[in-house]
């Protein structure tokens, strides 16, 4: 969202139960206690009764805050609202995004933050606990900078692997996306900052995102994209939901009554506020009656729809006053739950000491509270806290790096004499994605290409490998000259090529090829090197025409501010890779549901610009079969399947059992049969009966199992019941058909290790 126009048990066996807890406890979002027993909602309603209509409407629209027009005391961030001083409602500061605290274009001089790895790394970790911890890092740093609302929580499914924002998202599966996005949101909010969930819904591409109309039937939508959002809400309880730019089945997402009013607010009983994306509001009456509570980035809209036009619409009866009250109540409830009002009261200036009362004074009369102090930031982060946050970033990078190919090349053998690092600015750092999620940690570097800055985090794989392997000669070659690179590679024991593809908000990739001459570079190195390792720093899948010529491939995504250290630890074997692909890698674009993408020059992809080139995209082609489900349904063999990932050890599986007692669950024994400690991710996929019409299997649950060599665990994986159901619009709700359900224990979406089945009775559930 742009903010400005610019086997059996061994000697030891333990039991692990992995439960998909669907709702977080009330303390996941800080809700300050009240001696008078008032709830946040009742307190918000009491405040609303004291607001004038003008003050209410004033809370329902907000501009960007990126230039000299920002009010005094405001920081240059996504948005700033001055609050309502007379009622003690303090200023409201909002910041981007999900990978850390963004500082677009470096407007806040010297303001740096922990840069987390890409959202795809979180997806590749398959680790909800880690997602919550890194969410807490974002929340703590947002709070320390005075932010009240963090614009994080991206839960869009990757229907289009060429998408420019795919790197921000979790993956292509609704269960994985919902659980991990929800966990990250809960982490943000655990630090006293409200968090969004975005972009609701079907924002699957950047090309024409402000004009495209996404078409998808209701049942398919409920079983895929909407299910991801529903699960994320249940797990994360976000304070706000942000609508998408695009249209959905004819209506803009920001004024879509089916999505906002019917599904989100009524069926799911979402209690928070619904805000537009910046420059994503297109009407007054239609939007607010559809359920939109706030217009965001009003200066990017054609007019301030929730300003004077909304006042007029309330006064002449086109918009019920109760709808405005509801919107304001939702906004204030979010702020109260985040503790904003309490913090403002605690830091407000002390009133003057009482003195003699002059004749005729009104000092004994009740008066409205004075102006609140600005929202107080938490104390500045200590060096110890920053170091702890950096460790969390490194843990996520290590957990998210996926080993795709290994022919004995990794880990690097002890005593390796000379190692050549080639390309990707590996002498300086690691690449990051662009757009509103761009984070600038300390000492980052921007390289301007195509008029846009590409930021590299100062975490040098070269320096880290030299530190980890002090007896080896580790050299660097930029990779610009293929002949020179091949010569350096030929003189080394191992050549490691760092290949990159930069992704950013507002533009998609035209294809899945590595840009420039990088494919040729890898091939040239592979022809001369004794051993070739490729490290991919990309925002999504890429084609690999050189795959059979290299010895190892690592998908590192954008590994964040500790990416160099994480890569060095993986390459040297200090850590065994444990990431699993959260998105399928196709062999080429012809395997995609829509191989041809519209020309970006023919349409509008950025808000704040005149809209033209309206078009439609047909998601009914794959329907709910997003990603791996599509490939299975069509009988297509991708390059690497969803859920795939190698380690430096081997795992065995035994005794798969499925029960339907107090919920459906699968049990399996996992054994580390190798010689290296590592973490496994056994995945459970279900196949529905033919009567359902579902033609592909679905991920229903998984576990992360850390194991020492020779050790075993008995793991219980509880399965998500909606994955075994179809959405019946006539019911309406979830319908589980009676019949035989196949249950597979797999290591990825295509590799089955154990199989069983269970007979289920017919049942239904609410939407």
Residue 37 is predicted with a pLDDT of 72
Radius of gyration from C-alpha coordinates of the chain: 27
β-pair type (452-457, 751-760): unpaired
Residues 6+ apart with CB under 8 A from 149: 79, 92, 93, 94, 95, 193, 194, 195, 196, 239, 240, 334, 338
Distance of CA 287 to the CA centre of its chain: 26
Residue 627 is predicted with a pLDDT of 98
Task: Identify the three-state secondary structure at position 756.
Answer: strand
The per-residue pLDDT for range 508-550, each reduced to its tens digit, is: 999 999 999 999 999 999 999 999 999 999 999 999 999 999 9
The whole-number average pLDDT for the span 430-434 is: 94
CA atoms of 86 and 47, how far apart (whole Å): 11
Among 258, 274, 254, 268, CA closest to 333? 274
Residue 11 is predicted with a pLDDT of 37
**Is residue 50 over pLDDT 70?**
yes
Most confident range, picked from 57-71, 351-365, 566-580? 566-580
SS (H, E, C) 61-114: EECCECCCCCCCCCCCECEEECCEHHHCECCEEEEECCCCCCCHHHCCCCCCCC
Residue 357 is predicted with a pLDDT of 33
The pLDDT confidence band at residue 78, using thresholds 50, 70 and 90, is: confident
Going from the N-terminus, what domains does the chain have, and what CATH number goes with each? 43-345 (3.20.20.300), 402-576 (3.40.50.1700), 649-765 (2.60.40.10)
CA atoms of 208 and 508, how far apart (whole Å): 10
The per-residue pLDDT for range 84-105, each reduced to its tens digit, is: 999 999 999 999 989 999 887 6
Whole-structure pTM value: 0.91
The pLDDT confidence band at residue 34, using thresholds 50, 70 and 90, is: low
Residue 36 is predicted with a pLDDT of 65
Helix (H) or strand (E) holding 477: strand 473-477
The pLDDT confidence band at residue 14, using thresholds 50, 70 and 90, is: very low
Note the residue count of the chain: 767
Q: How far is CA 169 from CA 228, 556, 609, in A?
A: 11, 15, 25
Least confident span in 119-123, 438-442, 446-450: 446-450
Task: Identify the three-state secondary structure at position 199.
Answer: strand
List phi, psi (to 5°) of 630: -65, -45
The whole-number average pLDDT for the span 387-409 is: 98
CA atoms of 516 and 445, how far apart (whole Å): 21
Among 745, 737, 558, CA closest to 656? 745
């Amino acid at each position: 969202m742009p903010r400005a126009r610019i086997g059996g048990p061994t000697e030891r066996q333990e039991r692990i139960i992995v439960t998909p807890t669907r709702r977080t406890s009330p303390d996941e979002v800080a809700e300050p206690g009240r001696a008078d027993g008032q709830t946040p909602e009742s307190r918000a309603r009491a405040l609303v009764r004291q607001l004038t209509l003008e003050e209410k409407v004033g809370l329902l629209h907000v501009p960007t805050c990126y230039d000299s027009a920002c009010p005094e005391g405001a920081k240059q961030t996504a948005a700033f609202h001055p609050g309502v001083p007379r009622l003690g409602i303090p200023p409201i500061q909002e910041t981007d995004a999900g990978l850390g605290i963004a500082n677009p274009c470096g407007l806040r001089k010297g303001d740096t933050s922990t840069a987390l790895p890409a959202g795809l790394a979180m997806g590749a970790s398959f680790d909800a606990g880690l997602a919550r911890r890194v969410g807490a890092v974002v929340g703590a740093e947002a709070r320390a900078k005075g932010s009240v609302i963090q614009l994080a929580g991206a839960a869009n499914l990757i229907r289009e692997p060429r998408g420019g924002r795919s790197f921000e998202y979790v993956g292509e599966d609704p269960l994985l996306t919902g659980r991990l996005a929800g966990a990250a949101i809960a982490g943000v909010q655990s630090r006293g900052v409200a968090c969004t969930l975005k972009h609701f819904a079907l924002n699957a591409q950047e090309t024409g995102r402000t004009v495209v109309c996404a078409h998808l039937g209701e049942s398919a939508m409920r079983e895929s994209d909407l299910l991801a959002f529903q699960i994320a809400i249940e797990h994360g309880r976000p304070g706000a939901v942000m609508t998408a730019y695009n249209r959905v089945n004819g209506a803009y997402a920001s004024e879509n009554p089916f999505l906002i009013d019917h599904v989100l607010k009524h069926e799911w009983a979402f209690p928070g506020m619904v805000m537009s994306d910046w420059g994503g509001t297109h009407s007054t009456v239609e939007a607010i009656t559809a359920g939109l509570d706030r217009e965001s980035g009003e200066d990017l809209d054609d007019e301030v729809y929730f300003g004077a036009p909304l006042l007029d619409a309330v006064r002449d009866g086109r918009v019920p006053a109760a709808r405005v009250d509801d919107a304001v109540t939702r906004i204030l409830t979010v702020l109260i739950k985040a503790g904003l009002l309490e913090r403002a009261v605690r830091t407000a200036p002390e009133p003057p000491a009482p003195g003699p009362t002059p004749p005729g004074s009104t000092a004994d009369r009740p008066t409205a509270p004075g102006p609140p102090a600005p929202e107080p930031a938490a104390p500045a982060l200590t060096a110890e806290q920053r170091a702890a946050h950096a460790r969390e970033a490194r843990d996520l990078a290590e957990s998210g790096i996926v080993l795709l190919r290994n022919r004995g090349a990794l880990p690097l053998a002890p005593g390796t004499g000379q190692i050549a690092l080639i390309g990707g600015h590996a002498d300086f750092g690691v690449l990051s994605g662009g757009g509103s999620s761009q984070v600038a940690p300390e000492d980052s570097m921007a390289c301007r290409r195509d008029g846009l800055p590409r930021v590299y985090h100062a975490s040098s794989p070269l320096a880290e490998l030299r530190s980890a392997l002090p007896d080896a000669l580790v050299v660097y070659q930029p990779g610009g000259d293929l002949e020179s690179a091949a010569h350096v590679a030929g003189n080394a024991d191992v050549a490691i090529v760092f290949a990159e593809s930069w992704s950013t908000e507002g533009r998609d990739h035209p294809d899945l090829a590595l840009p420039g001459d990088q494919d040729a570079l890898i091939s040239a190195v592979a022809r001369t090197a004794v051993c070739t390792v490729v490290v991919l720093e990309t925002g999504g899948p890429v084609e690999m025409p050189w795959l059979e010529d290299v010895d190892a491939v690592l998908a590192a995504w954008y590994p964040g501010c500790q990416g160099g250290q994480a890569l060095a630890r993986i390459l040297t074997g200090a850590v065994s890779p444990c990431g699993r692909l959260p998105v399928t890698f196709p062999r080429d674009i012809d395997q995609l549901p829509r191989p041809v993408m519209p020309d970006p020059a023919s349409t509008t992809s950025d808000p704040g610009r005149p809209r033209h080139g309206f078009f439609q995209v047909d998601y009914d082609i794959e329907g709910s079969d997003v990603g791996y489900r599509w490939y299975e349904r069509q009988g297509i063999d991708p390059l690497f399947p969803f859920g795939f990932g190698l380690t430096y050890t081997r795992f065995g599986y035994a005794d798969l059992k499925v029960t339907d007692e107090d919920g459906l669950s699968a049990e399996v024994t996992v054994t580390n049969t190798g010689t290296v400690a590592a973490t496994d991710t056994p995945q459970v996929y279900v196949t529905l009966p033919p009567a359902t019409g579902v033609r592909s299997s679905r991920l229903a649950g998984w576990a992360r199992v850390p194991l020492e060599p020779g050790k075993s665990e008995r793991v219980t994986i509880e399965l998500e019941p909606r994955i075994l159901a179809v959405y019946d619009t006539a019911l309406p709700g979830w319908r589980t058909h009676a019949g035989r359900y196949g249950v597979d224990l797999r290591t990825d979406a295509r590799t089955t290790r154990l199989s069983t089945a269970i007979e289920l009775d017919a049942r239904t559930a609410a939407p």
